[in-house]
Structures are given as structure tokens and as C-alpha cells.
């Protein structure tokens, strides 16, 4: 099979994938726990690839903003790690959970220390700590995403944040539960507000592929400054690969073979270290909460290009 018509561009690959996805009828179902997500059309599809220098290729709805949801966990992790370094790992683990993303079971057996920063409990700890460091966790995140994407129009959808809060009992339970073990420092309602706002940032595939670039550049931001050490950037990639797609991380590693992170808004970001970053969006989810078309598109991408880490 001829892989790419030109070694200089990913465009033909994206076009081919979009064509294949267009012929796939089964797209799963959008998340239905809040109205704003349930209303999404599962046939929307966008995909973007950003090269290290900021060149972006895209197809379909790649410029359409969508609800980032858990994708932001990658950025808050990096932003806190940049400030706290290994101190963070005393409060959240780095192991796959083997349980659904919002389970309390493992949390109880491990005395309030979440297994990893990408399950909800772990992300609450990261947000709590970033908020203590900065006084404005959601704002710090938004500033970072704007800077990396070059898109000053990125914003929090406050209606979505309010809707998340109104359906937030499970996350409130997680927050109070960890607080009972002394692993949360801010008042739980304050933490929840920061957390739900951070989940409600809207951005496009293009924005997010660009914003993820520092993980392919071994820690270097778009402006050339260093956010993470090389070692820390590798660590974030490792955590993404082992824990980034809920309790289907093994399946994702097996099929896609890249560090990746999914969100219930239908977005998936992925990293080819030293080469490029990707973001796919399609709102229909599988039973694990991962975008059906998103994972399929990434699977096709690594198969066609051979760009798996394995």
C-alpha cells in the first residue's frame, strides 16, 4: 500500500481516514448525563494533526469547538507538575486503575490516594493542588490553552459548567471522600467549581492538537520556553498511555499504540513523541466513554503511517 503521496504532509492520510469514517454507520451514543452533551450529533467528525513547528493539517469539523471535558486533565497535570514536580506524586498515583473512571472502590482500599491523575478522583486532586499553587486553576488552564493554540477566543462555556455542577453528586462524593483522608486542601465546593469550569472549556481539534505539542517536543512550549523537563514530558506520555482512556487503556495501547487521552465530549488527543500530535472529535461514545470514531481514526492513522510507539 502506498502510504503518503508526499512525505511533507499528513493531509492525504487525514482525507483517507475521513472518507473511511464517513462510511462507518455505527458511531455510538453521545454522553447523556447533561443536556449540552446529549444534544451533540454523533455523525460530526473532525481530525487535526499538528507538527512540531505548529503546522496543522485538518479534515472535517476540525475547526469546530467542542466540550473538552477530560482532555483538560492532561494540561492541568502538566501545569501542576511544572510547579510541584515529584511532590504531586505523593498525593496521586501513576498506576492504571482497572476500574471505571469514577469508582470509589479503589480509592477506599488505598486510603484516599487516587490511582492516577486521569480518573476523576485523581483529576480532582490535581485541580485542588493547581488551585492552591495559582489561586485560579481554571484560569491558569485557559491561559495556557490560549497561548499554545494561538487562539485567544477559547473560553469556558459557563452553561455547561453549571449543568455539570447540577449533576455533580458523584464528583462531590469523590471530593468529600478524599477530604476525609486529608488529601484535599481547598473547600470541596470551591474545588468542584474549579473542576467543572475546567471541564467546560471549549476548543477545536486544531486548538487541542497545537496545545498538546509540548508533549511531542519533550516539554517545550510553542514559544520555545520549557514547561516540563524532558523526563517529566516522558512521564506524562507514559501516564497517558497506561491510564488515558479509562478502563480501556490496554485496548487503546493495543489498537492505537500512542499516548492518548479521551473525554466524554467525544474528543481524543494523542502524541507521537518527537513527531506530531493529534486531536480527533466525534461525539458518539463506546461503553467505556471513548469516542468510537475517534479511536478508530487514530487506529487507522497509526496503521497507515506506521507511527506507533511500538
Site for a copy of itself in 255-284 (CB under 8 A): 257, 259, 273
Residue 14 class from Cβ within 10 Å (0-12 exposed, 13-18 middle, 19+ buried)?
Answer: buried
d(C-alpha 29, C-alpha 54), whole Å: 33
Total Cβ atoms within 10 A of residue 202: 17
Q: Are 273 and 218 in contact (CB under 8 A)?
A: yes
Q: Which of 249, 278, 280, 307 binds a copy of itself (CB under 8 A)?
A: 249
Binding mask 95-134 for a copy of itself (x = CB under 8 A): xxxxx---xxxxxxx-----xx------------------
Q: Are 267 and 291 in contact (CB under 8 A)?
A: yes
Site for a copy of itself in 134-193 (CB under 8 A): 169-170, 172-177, 179-180, 188
d(C-alpha 223, C-alpha 105), whole Å: 42
Q: Which of 243, 269, 270, 278 binds a copy of itself (CB under 8 A)?
A: 243
Q: Contact between 247 and a copy of itself (CB under 8 A)?
A: yes
Q: Which of 235, 277, 290, 291 binds a copy of itself (CB under 8 A)?
A: 235
Q: Residues 188, 264, 271, 292: which is the catalytic one?
A: 264
Catalytic residues: 70, 73, 195, 246, 264
Residues that bind a copy of itself in the complex, under the rule CB under 8 A: 93-99, 103-109, 115-116, 169-170, 172-177, 179-180, 188, 231, 233-235, 237-239, 241-243, 247-251, 253-254, 257, 259, 273, 303, 308-310
Binding residues for substrate: 70, 120, 164, 171, 195, 246, 264
Amino acid at each position: 500500500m502506498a502510504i503518503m503521496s508526499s512525505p511533507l504532509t499528513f493531509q492525504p492520510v487525514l482525507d483517507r481516514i475521513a472518507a473511511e469514517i464517513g462510511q462507518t454507520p455505527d458511531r455510538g451514543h453521545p454522553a447523556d448525563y447533561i443536556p449540552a452533551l446529549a444534544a451533540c450529533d454523533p455523525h460530526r467528525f473532525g481530525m487535526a494533526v499538528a507538527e512540531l513547528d505548529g503546522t496543522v493539517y485538518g479534515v472535517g469539523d476540525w475547526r469546530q469547538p467542542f466540550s473538552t471535558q477530560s482532555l483538560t486533565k492532561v494540561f492541568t497535570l502538566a501545569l501542576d507538575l511544572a510547579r510541584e514536580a515529584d511532590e504531586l506524586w505523593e498525593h496521586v498515583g501513576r498506576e492504571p486503575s482497572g476500574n471505571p473512571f469514577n469508582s470509589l472502590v479503589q480509592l477506599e482500599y488505598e486510603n484516599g490516594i487516587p490511582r492516577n491523575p486521569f480518573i476523576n478522583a485523581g483529576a480532582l486532586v490535581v485541580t485542588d493542588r493547581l488551585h492552591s499553587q495559582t489561586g485560579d486553576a481554571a484560569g491558569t488552564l485557559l491561559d495556557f490553552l490560549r497561548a499554545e493554540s494561538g487562539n485567544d477566543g477559547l473560553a469556558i462555556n459557563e452553561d455547561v459548567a453549571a449543568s455539570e455542577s447540577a449533576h455533580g453528586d458523584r464528583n462531590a462524593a469523590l471530593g468529600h471522600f478524599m477530604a476525609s483522608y486529608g488529601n484535599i486542601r481547598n473547600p470541596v465546593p470551591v474545588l468542584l467549581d474549579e473542576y467543572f469550569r475546567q471541564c467546560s472549556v471549549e476548543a477545536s481539534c486544531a486548538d487541542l492538537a497545537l496545545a498538546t505539542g509540548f508533549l511531542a517536543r519533550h516539554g517545550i512550549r510553542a514559544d520555545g520556553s520549557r514547561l516540563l523537563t524532558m523526563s517529566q514530558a516522558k512521564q506524562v506520555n507514559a501516564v497517558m498511555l497506561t491510564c488515558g482512556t479509562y478502563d480501556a487503556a490496554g485496548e487503546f495501547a493495543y489498537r492505537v499504540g500512542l499516548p492518548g487521552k479521551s473525554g466524554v465530549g467525544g474528543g481524543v488527543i494523542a502524541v507521537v513523541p518527537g513527531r506530531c500530535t493529534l486531536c480527533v472529535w466525534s461525539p458518539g461514545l463506546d461503553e467505556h466513554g471513548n469516542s468510537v470514531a475517534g479511536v478508530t481514526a487514530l487506529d487507522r492513522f497509526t496503521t497507515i503511517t506506521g507511527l506507533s510507539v511500538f
